[in-house]
């Protein structure tokens, strides 16, 4: 167990995982709002 722990990586942005699971879109690490999606279309 100790050996495995030494190889674990810390997740950056772990606070955003719930948003990713809900299907929130991100671009370059920033959340893309609905109005921004419509402008690019």
- Which pLDDT does position 13 carry in this prediction? 74
- Which pLDDT does position 35 carry in this prediction? 67
Q: Are 26 and 32 in contact (CB under 8 A)?
A: yes
* 15 inside domain: yes
Instruction: Name beta bridge partners: 27.
Output: 30
- Which pLDDT does position 41 carry in this prediction? 57
* 4 inside domain: no
19: nearest Cα among 30, 10, 9: 30
* 1 inside domain: no
12: nearest Cα among 22, 33, 26: 26
Element (H, E) at 40: helix 34-40
Count up the domains in the chain and report the number: 1
pTM of the complete model beyond 0.85: no
29: containing domain: 11-40
Read off the pLDDT of residues 1-41 as tens digits, 9 standing for 90 and up.
666 667 777 767 778 888 889 999 888 888 888 766 566 65
Encoding tokens for residue 31?
């959340």
């Amino acid at each position: 167990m100790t050996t495995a722990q030494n190889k674990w990586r810390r997740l950056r942005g772990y606070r955003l995982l719930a948003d990713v699971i809900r299907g929130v879109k991100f671009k370059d690490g920033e959340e893309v709002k609905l109005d921004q999606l419509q402008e690019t279309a």
